[in-house]
Chains A and B, each alone.
Chain A
Amino acid sequence: MRALARGVLWGGGNDAFSSGRLRKLRRLPSAGGHPEAEPDAASEILRFLIIHWKCDIDVSKGALLEGQLEISIEGLHSKHQANALHCVTTIASAGSLFGGMVLKKFLKEIQSILPGISAKLTWTSEEGSYPQDMTGVTPFQMTFEVDEKPRTLMTDCLVIKHFLRKIIMVHPKIRFNFSIKVNGILSTEIFGVENEPTLNLGNGIALVVDSQHYVSRPNFGTIESHCSRIHPVLGHPVILFIPEDVAGMDLLGELILTPAAALCPSPKVSSNQLNRIYSVSIFLYGPLGLPLILSTWEQPMTTFFKDTSSLIDWKKYHLCMVPNLDLNLDRDLVLPDVSYRAESSEGDQSHNMDPQGQTLLLFLFVDFHSAFPVQQMEIWGVYTLLTAHLNAILVESHSVVQGCIQFTVDQVLEQHHQAAKAQQKLQASLSVAVNSIMSILTGSTRSSFRKMCLQTLQAADTQEFGTKLHKVFREITQHQFLHHCSCEVKQQLTLEKKDSAQGTEDVPDNSSRELLADTNEQAENKRLKRGSLRMEEIRALHSARAPSPSEAAPRRPEATAAPLTPSGRAAFKAHGRALAPGRVSRGSRLEDVLWLQEVSNLSEWLSPSPGP
């Protein structure tokens, strides 16, 4: 066993998983014998790791994070607590993640956030040497231990999986290997979306656009009538306002919300499916594309999102949305943070729970922009602020948020409205063509001509001829129209590209608000462009409404890295405390459903074990 000095986080060796444990972070049970309601430590550490990782390699903002992380949890019967498992969680990198990570700094910073996780931490140091080179390319591994009830472990695992699924949707080049071993029974799952089509959103994140991650396939209806990808429309970024009564950090920048919306499945040929939105799934992401797990995530309906019209005026689309608490989960789907479903309004049954309808996907990306170089801890602080106070921030910024999201959704629906019109135009044209041909055929006095036409389409009479004529016309033109979906063309172009991000499409930097009039690639590119508002313009738009961002978020005089302010820590703690009661109270039904679906092969260890 290699002895390591304090403060070093190093795995050493060339193996994917180093055997050298650098530091043990032992979490002891509380005095009352019941484990404290603790936030999910693994998710918090992963989050911080990604922040550090991103900041470390952020030479160009457009670079995507690339690498593989191993997360393993091993649970054995606890010796210190009855009916509890002693869980050892290991987070390791398979290969190098950082080029010049300063381990001491990383360790110090992560230590500062860990007190929020546990009341007590135990550090273990061992004698020995450690590699002198601390700045080289290094794989790494860290481990922490905790005693907790099996049900708590179940929930933790679900939270981790939810977190991982959400991460890979915007960080498609990161791969996670997640394994759980409880009393000798191993379950492994890989989270990765390699080689799947993505849409580069800039700022180092790219959205996976494969529909199967968002909607299960049985809801697709006729496969030929739908595209396998979603086609997100990016909305204009808006500045969010932080309420004055929110205790928070002194931010040296602004919080920017950028929405993206898409219909899923995306119909290639939209006809009856227009505007029949069955459900809405909202995904929340914070800075650097980190999933936002709200402090009240298990009870989202008590927040800003409880009022379904907060984001969008549904009456405009003749829809009535209600919060959806009845989650129909699929193993491979990304669980939305907020979900609505359409309900019949004014007695109209046509919209009532049509599972063949579409889901409106709404991605809300809240990012932090600053004129100064942003430090890891600052991003962590922003994330903490959002986790604890997103509700208040969204309420404060309600009008601008609703405006930009409404506009984005309008664009999405308008596209499909245009597609439906194109389809109607096609159908009308085909009818005219067929009727004209039939008119000539039936009016002809030349038997050789009539006979030849019937024989060519293998029809016995003119009636059958008409039917076959219409059918073959429809097949030929629909085939072309179906494959006129822009993503088909783009797919070919993408495969030809020498872009290292395979299947990744870039959002062009130009501005355009043009709606997709037809489904050609050019129109597709246009509708994916960002809004043209630069930071100064965004600020100018907001200046009349609110105090200047400098007043709303007082700037610190120096852009130096600083640990979380006490208020930040308090917010983090509040997050942690709030999570637990919700977690416990959510209790039976949902957790059981989640657990049974997600970890079906671990049912054995729910029963009493035979002992060590």
Chain B
Amino acid sequence: MAFAPMGPEASFFEVLDRHRESLLAALRRGGQEPPSGGSRVASSSEVLVSIENIIQDIITSLARNEAPAFTIDNRSSWENIKFEDSVGLQMVSHCTTRKIKSDSPKSVKKFALILKILSMIYKLVQSNTYATKRDIYYTDSQLFGNQTVVDNIINDISCMLKVSRRSLHILSTSKGLIAGNLRYIEEDGTKVNCTCGATAVAVPSNIQGIRNLVTDAKFVLIVEKDATFQRLLDDNFCNKLSPCIMITGKGVPDLNTRLLVKKLWDTFHVPVFTLVDADPHGIEIMCIYKYGSMSMSFEAHHLTVPAIRWLGLLPSDLKRLNVPKDSLIPLTNRDQMKLDSILRRPYVTCQPFWRKEMEIMADSKMKAEIQALTFLSSDYLSRVYLPNKLKFGGWI
């Protein structure tokens, strides 16, 4: 391996290595079954035929003097989502659907927009070109109204055709950053080396296309916020705890960031940890990486990493480290509602330690950002907190 050994001695990673072994053992026990249901990577011809079949159905309905309609799975309904410990949140096989009718005043516009985007996808696939969701929106912003409309329709189409968004030749704009012991070659042949320096590397937009991934990393650290990520970069964290990989989605992660984390896990089975604020929002972001989101549950198998562990900032750490109260922030009503919502989610049931931490937060009615640790010292996070946590297994 060509990486310069700048990190701690090998004994530092003993607990991590044991953790990795246990994860691998769990994988072996669970088997490596290919994901069932959900979306898949489809070839261009398959996508084109799928779209043509839809058009054919519409024409047939019209010929029978029936108003055509799209039948779309209710992606955002909890009744259509099940939880599996090995996968996370995913759609049930026979889920409820809704009809987007062409003869209803309320839905005729959406019906037309779905056809519009289908025709655009058809052209992209035919010409083997790609566009982002933003590009789609700007082709006729007045028609679409807002970006969210486009995003939802694209997800609906992906779910309806049971193909990944990538197969539709629609890219999501990457906003994540990655740094550390990782190198790869992008689809166009560009060689990328994420070795820590003063700057990080942007998460590529074509995760499926990257190849030749190489890493020695003992762990992957997902950082919730860009501010914390930059702080760790400044503190030369990647070198101090080398070999490791650091990644951030800058808040709620985009699809490519999630795909990359998933790819790193699937390829290397390196332990993945999250470093999030001790607040409901941070916990929710962590759950997205680990178990997936409701809206993208139809693609859960490609996006979730159930092996993720919560490294920090734990609510119990606040008391343990005597973080002063003026560094804490009271939970708002919105925080409380979100916390209650998370506690009701099915995956919390199999995470008793997570539940306990959330209950500590609920009881104290206080939250804290990672930056609260700076009350001890400005580099406490990278110099003391994270190394201790990683060395002694302080994750849950």
A476 in contact with B66 given A422-B105, A429-B112, A436-B118 (CB within 8 Å): yes
User: Which of B119-127, B171-179, B185-193, B312-320 contacts the other chain?
Assistant: B119-127
B113 at interface by CB-CB < 8 Å: yes
Give the docked Cα–Cα distance between A257 and B135 (Å): 58
Give the docked Cα–Cα distance between A241 and B373 (Å): 76
Q: Is the CB of A432 within 8 A of B59?
A: no
Q: Is the CB of A477 within 8 A of B103?
A: yes
Contact of B56 among A425, A443, A445, A449 (CB under 8 A): A449
Determine the chain B residues whose CB is within 8 A of the CB of A477 once the complex forms. 67, 102-103, 108
User: Which of A313-321, A363-371, A451-459 contacts the other chain?
Assistant: A451-459
Q: Is the CB of B52 within 8 A of A444?
A: yes
B273 at interface by CB-CB < 8 Å: no
Contact of B55 among A422, A435, A441, A475 (CB under 8 A): A441
A433 at interface by CB-CB < 8 Å: yes
Q: Is the CB of A439 within 8 A of B119?
A: yes
A12 CB to closest chain B CB (Å) equals 62
Determine the chain B residues whose CB is within 8 A of the CB of A446 once the complex forms. 48-49, 52
A84 at interface by CB-CB < 8 Å: no
Contact of A469 among B48, B62, B116, B126 (CB under 8 A): B62
Contact of A476 among B67, B109, B118 (CB under 8 A): B67
Q: Is the CB of B62 within 8 A of A443?
A: no
A379 CB to closest chain B CB (Å) equals 46
Give the docked Cα–Cα distance between A429 and B67 (Å): 14
**Contact residues, B64-117 vs A (CB, 8 A):** 65-67, 102-106, 108-109, 111-113, 115-116
For chain B, the count of residues having a C-beta within 8 Å of the partner chain is: 32
A436 in contact with B116 given A425-B109, A472-B62, A476-B65 (CB within 8 Å): yes
Determine the chain A residues whose CB is within 8 A of the CB of B384 once the complex forms. none
Contact of B62 among A435, A449, A457, A479 (CB under 8 A): A457
Question: Across the two chains, which residue of chain A brings its CB closest to B67?
Answer: A476
Q: Is the CB of A473 within 8 A of B62?
A: yes
Q: Is the CB of A457 within 8 A of B115?
A: no
Give the docked Cα–Cα distance between A447 and B250 (Å): 48
A189 CB to closest chain B CB (Å) equals 44
Q: Is the CB of A457 within 8 A of B63?
A: yes
Q: Is the CB of B104 within 8 A of A480?
A: yes
Question: Across the two chains, which residue of chain A brings its CB closest to B104?
Answer: A480
B74 CB to closest chain A CB (Å) equals 23
Give the docked Cα–Cα distance between A497 and B323 (Å): 70
A515 CB to closest chain B CB (Å) equals 16
Contact of A433 among B52, B105, B111 (CB under 8 A): B111
Give the docked Cα–Cα distance between A475 and B116 (Å): 21
Give the docked Cα–Cα distance between A557 and B65 (Å): 72
Determine the chain A residues whose CB is within 8 A of the CB of B67 once the complex forms. 476-477, 480
A476 in contact with B103 given A430-B112, A453-B55 (CB within 8 Å): yes
A181 at interface by CB-CB < 8 Å: no
Q: Is the CB of A518 within 8 A of B105?
A: yes
B342 at interface by CB-CB < 8 Å: no
B43 at interface by CB-CB < 8 Å: no
Determine the chain A residues whose CB is within 8 A of the CB of B66 once the complex forms. 476
Q: Is the CB of B118 within 8 A of A440?
A: yes
Determine the chain B residues whose CB is within 8 A of the CB of A519 once the complex forms. 105
Q: Is the CB of B59 within 8 A of A453?
A: yes
Q: Is the CB of B108 within 8 A of A440?
A: no
Give the docked Cα–Cα distance between A130 and B99 (Å): 75
Determine the chain A residues whose CB is within 8 A of the CB of B202 once the complex forms. none
Q: Is the CB of B126 within 8 A of A443?
A: yes
A124 CB to closest chain B CB (Å) equals 68
B134-162: CB near A (< 8 Å → 1, else 0) gives 00000000010000000000000000000
Q: Is the CB of B105 within 8 A of A432?
A: no
Q: Knowing that A444-B48, A456-B56 are A-B contacts, what are 11 other residue pairs whose CB atoms are under 8 Å apart, sorted by A's residue number? A: A422-B105, A429-B111, A435-B119, A436-B116, A440-B51, A446-B52, A449-B56, A476-B67, A476-B102, A479-B103, A480-B104
> Nearest 5 A-B pairs (CB), nearest first?
A436-B115, A480-B103, A432-B112, A429-B112, A436-B119
**What are 22 contact pairs spanning A and B, CB under 8 A?**
A425-B105, A429-B109, A429-B111, A430-B112, A433-B115, A436-B119, A437-B115, A440-B51, A440-B118, A440-B119, A444-B52, A449-B56, A453-B56, A456-B56, A456-B60, A473-B62, A476-B65, A476-B103, A479-B103, A480-B103, A481-B103, A518-B105
